[in-house]
Every structure is written in C-alpha cells, then in structure tokens.
Amino acid sequence: MRGATPGNPTGEPTGGATGRRAARPRRRTRRRVLLVVLAVVVVVLALAGWLAWRGLQVVDALEQIRPAVVSLQDDLAAGDVEQATTALGPLQEQSARATAATGDPVWRAASHLPWVGAQLGAVTDVVAAVDLLATDVVPVLAEVAGSIDPESLAPVDGTVDLAPLAAAAPQLQQASEAATRAQGLVDAIDTAGLVEPLADAVEEARTSLRGATSTLEVASTAATLVPPMLGAEGARTYLLLVLNPAELRSTGGIVASVALLTADGGSMSLNRQVAAGDLPQFESAVLPLTADEEAVHTRQLGRLMQNVTMTPDFPRTAELAVELWARTGGEPVDGVLATDPVTLSYVLGATGPVESPDGTVLDEQGAVRTLLYDAYERFPESRDADAFFAGAAASVFDAISSGQGDARALVPALVQAASERRVAVWSAHPDEQGLIGGTTVGGAFLSGAADDRAGVFLDDGTGTKLDYFLGTGVEVLSVTCPADGAPATAVLSIDLTSQVPADPSTVPSYMTWNGSEGPPSGALQTNVTVYAPVGGALGEVREVHDGTAVVGAWRGQEAGRDVVVVTSRLDPGGAERYEVDVTLPTDQEGLAVWSTPTLAGPGAVPAASCS
C-alpha cells in the first residue's frame, strides 16, 4: 500500500491519468455539440437557400403573370378572342409555377415559423388568388367573349338576340364566384406584420381584385337579369322616368316625363309618353310615409310624380311612382327605370347624332345644353318644353333600338352612366329585385346596398331650373384611423358654386321663374342632406369661409342613420363650402360616399382609407 503524503492522507492517486481520462469525455461532448450546431446551421442555411430559391421562382412567375394579364385583358377588350386564348397558356403556366413553389413541403413547414411564416403565408394566399383567376376566371371570360360580341347584342330590326347572353349567365356566375373567393383570400391577409414591399403588393392585389370582382358581379347579374327583363320569357312593361337635373332632387333631378317601355322577346318600344307636370297632385302621399321620411323629406314626398325622387332610396322612389301611376289610371308595370340627359349624351357618343321630332339635331357634345337650356329659350311654355324633352328622349331610344351607330361603344357608355349612378332600375319581381337591390343601379341607399357609405344629397329649394348653373363637388378630405378603442373618423367636404349670370334676366324666363312676382333674383337655394353610414354618427357641420359651426342645421334619423340638413343660398357667382365630421362604424377604416348625380359631377365618391 502506498504511503500517505502530506496533503493526501488517504494515499489515493491524484491528477495524472485519472484527470486526463475525465477531460476526454468533456471534449468529446463539446465536439458533438459543435457538430450538432454546425449541422443545424447547415440545415438552416440549406432551408433558407431552398426557400430563397423557391421565393425567386414565385417572384419570377408573378412578374411574368402581370404583363400576361394586361395583354390578355387588352385582347378581350379588343374582341381578339383567338389571341386571348393563345395568351392564356403562358398565364396558366406561370401560375402553376408559383403554386408549385408555395406548395413545397419546406415552404409549408416554414409557414408555421414566427414572423417568417406570416410573410410566406401572405405570398401563398396571393399566389392562390392568382391561380384562381388563371384557372377559373380568365378561361371562362375567354370562352364567353368567343360566344358574345358587343355587336351581336345590338338590335337588328329592333330586336336583341338574347340567347347568347342567357347561355353565358351560368359561366359568368361561375367566374364571379371564383373571383369572389380569390378576393376573400387576399382580403383576409393581415398586412400589419408584413415587410413593406410585400404589404404594398398585397394592397395592390386587393385593389385589382376588387375591381375585377365588382365587374364580374355586374356582368353576371346583367346576364342573369337582362334576358327575362327584356321579355325572353314573356312581355314586360316598365315605367321610364326621365329626370331633369336642372331642378335637383336627391336621386338626380325632378321627374320631367314618364313613358311606358314594352319589351317582348328582345324587342323594345316606347308607347305612352306623359309630361310629369300633367299628372295630378294628391293632397297627401299615395303611400304611408314613416315619421322619419316625413321629417327629412317633408310631406311633398309621394304627392306628385315630379317629387318621387326626393328620397335617395330608389326602391322607395319606384314604389311611389308605381302607386302614383296606378292612381291616374295607368296599367300595371313590371318595374321602373330612371335616367337623365347626361346618360343620353353618353349614348349619343355611340349612336351618333339623332334628330328630334321637330328637326333639332342632338349630339354628344350639345345634348345637355339643348335639352336643359336651349329648350327653355325656344319654348317659354312649360308644356311645350316638356313635349320637346320627351320627344328628344324618344328619338335617342329609337336610335338605340334600331342599332344605329357603334354597338361596341354602347355598352361602355351605359356602364359609365351606371357607375356615375345616372341609371337606376327596380323590378316588381322579388327574385329579380333581390339581385338588383345590392348593385349600384339598384340605388338602395336606405335599404341595404350602401350601409357602409355616407350620403350627400341635394334638393332644389327654389322651384326654378337654375341648377343647370350649379357647380358641385363632394370629397372625403381625410380619414383618421381608430386608436385606443376609439373608432375611425372622417371629414366630408361639400362645395357649391353658382354660375348663374350676374344679370339673371339674360337667362330664359322659365328657368328663373318660380311662380312669384317681380324680377328674377337668380338665387340658388339648395337643401343639402348628409347621412352617416349605418352605425356611424355625424358631428359638427362647418362653413369653411369662417370655420364656425352652421347655425340652424336640422338633425334627425332615417333608416338607422344620422341625418343633418343644411339650407344653402347662393347669389349669382357665389360659392360655399361645408365640412362635416363623421364618426365611422366600429371596425370600418375607410369611407365612400353616394351623392346626387348632377350636371357637374357623378353620384359616387371613391373610398378614402385611414393612414
């Protein structure tokens, strides 16, 4: 036995071999850990490289898709179906490349990682939306374009061939549903955590898809509704209201004339035409008014045909017009249509000039002035002016029904008028009205079609035709995002400008006369009615020239909306601007506006979003 040594009373060996043996396992462990770390790094780098490569594939494919889509749209718009079909193959090929890249197992696994996953998920959803367009939307449009040409929709001997449109309806419905699914994918992406270039790309995709989805929805609805409404399943009769915006009402203008339009098997004809002023006035509204309607629009609503457009809700206008028509011995109708002289001018751009019954030539550039100014100069008696107005409208209708002019330009002209809310449609058939009601042409501002929009509507308060000289402008100046639990807010601006000549006596007397004695003042008096979105609220109303709150603004409610009414009075050459504070409904971060379509501007203001 080895002896003990100082400091080692047990005599056991120290240091030496035993210490070295203990160090070796620790070094081996460190090497293993280092190898594992290196392996992980290599794998991560490999995965990153793989994802980067896949990402480049996606980017390249999407970059190739964009010009392909633009080219294909141009081909379809030009009616070159053969070229559009040829371009469809490359579009679908690039879409398939992008879809394959985002469907890669590594890509899918990485989509569950923090932060990175949000970026990859957003790209995946955008690619899926593009693929829906490439596989389920564009091919259908190419097929439909091959079977329907705008020229084929032009009347021949007064009749439109409705069969191709009816056959296309199911296909357009399929394309519309696919586009809606694509839009849903992109709309569901949360851009808050995305890198800026990707967030911008998502917003761009949203904007493009909304436009495409809206267009397809309109096309699908039109293909479904137009054949039966034009008499494919039996004759139809409609009440046509021709509006005069020289004397404003909320929907667009006072009803100047009424006509019966008959459609049977695609053949259309105007039968009976009556000046609205020749129809009787009733002592009270022909249908019961709600307390809110009476408070906002007064008891004038529903007593005579000229004033059925005082409400901004076209289904309500139609109900009142139908009842007034029936009370005067008119026959039952299948629906109500309304339009204005600006629409007639757009149509004249497609048909070319037409001649009215008295020999006056109407063309695109001069139609509005001819109908709303020159007519009153030529015909001092209102009955004669109304007859001229009705005859001119009938002449334009005859030009359309006979197929005169460029049929390819007619559809865009009508689409422009509809987008400006200058055309309104109501059907007495509930299934059809169910489809129409949610569209722009349905005009259902107070009955469900525009709950998230504000409204700015104008009604003449003078009884003259001086709104021919009224300049108007409506704008969403700003939208403030929600913060700290408070909802978003917006500021609306409303501009009114009088362009009445300094000497009102130079204006045709019928335009300035309101039944009172004495020289014409040339004053413009306008009732401005502002509505909040449903669930929102209206705050202060200010006159901009002094920034003070408007005194005497009337406040109330209609159809669940806050309402404020301001009366503006402008002398010749005068101008006013009002600003209105609007609190938006919860979770709404943007605001669009429906307004009265005037000679100076359309009836729709695009949405502005918070920033």
Could you report the per-residue pLDDT of 71-111, keeping only the tens digit for each? 656 665 565 656 666 767 777 887 888 788 888 888 788 88
**What does the pLDDT average to over 311-321?**
98
Torsion-angle region of 391 (φ positive above 0: left; ψ -120 to 50: alpha; else: beta): alpha
- Give the pLDDT of residue 180: 92
Q: What is the pLDDT of residue 4?
A: 44
Query: Does residue 145 register a pLDDT over 90?
Result: no
pLDDT category of residue 287 using cuts at 50, 70 and 90: very high
Q: Output the pLDDT for position 99.
A: 86
The predicted pLDDT at position 548 comes to 80
d(CA 323, CA 327): 6
Q: What is the pTM of this model?
A: 0.83
Reported as a single tens digit per residue, the pLDDT across 166-199 is 999 999 999 889 989 988 998 898 888 888 877 8
Question: What interhelical angle do 407-419 and 341-351 show, nearest 10?
Answer: 160
pLDDT exceeds 90 at position 27: no
Secondary element (H or E) of residue 86: helix 81-102
pLDDT at 198: 79
Cβ count within 10 A of residue 93: 14
More confident residue, 523 or 65: 523
Domains of the chain and CATH, by start: 27-229 (no CATH), 236-430 (3.40.630), 450-609 (2.60.40)
Helices (H), 241-340: 291-297, 314-327
Structure tokens at 293: 């309607």
DSSP string, 331-399: PP-SEEEEE-HHHHHHHHHHH--EE-TTS-EE-TTTHHHIIIIIHHHH--SHHHHHHHHHHHHHHHHHH
Residue 44 has φ and ψ, to the nearest 5°, of: -60, -45
Distances in whole angstroms, Cα of residue 489 to Cα of each of 532, 538, 541, 587, 611: 11, 10, 14, 11, 11
Per residue in 218-250, pLDDT tens?
788 889 999 999 999 999 999 999 999 999 999
Which tokens go with 80? 């070159």
* 4-8, 217-221, 580-584: segment of lowest average pLDDT: 4-8
Tell me the mean pLDDT in the region 296-312: 96
pLDDT band at 344 (very low <50, low <70, confident <90, very high): very high
Among 132-141, 396-405, 424-433, 600-609, the range of highest mean pLDDT: 424-433
Mean pLDDT for the stretch of residues 4-9: 44
Burial (CB < 10 A; 0-12, 13-18, 19+), residue 20, is exposed
Average pLDDT in the chain: 86
Percent of the chain with pLDDT over 70: 85
Least confident interval from 118-127, 230-239, 432-441, 559-568? 118-127
Tell me the per-residue pLDDT of 369-378, one tens digit each, with 9 for 90 and over. Answer: 999 999 999 9
Residue 448 neighbours by CB distance under 10 Å: 14
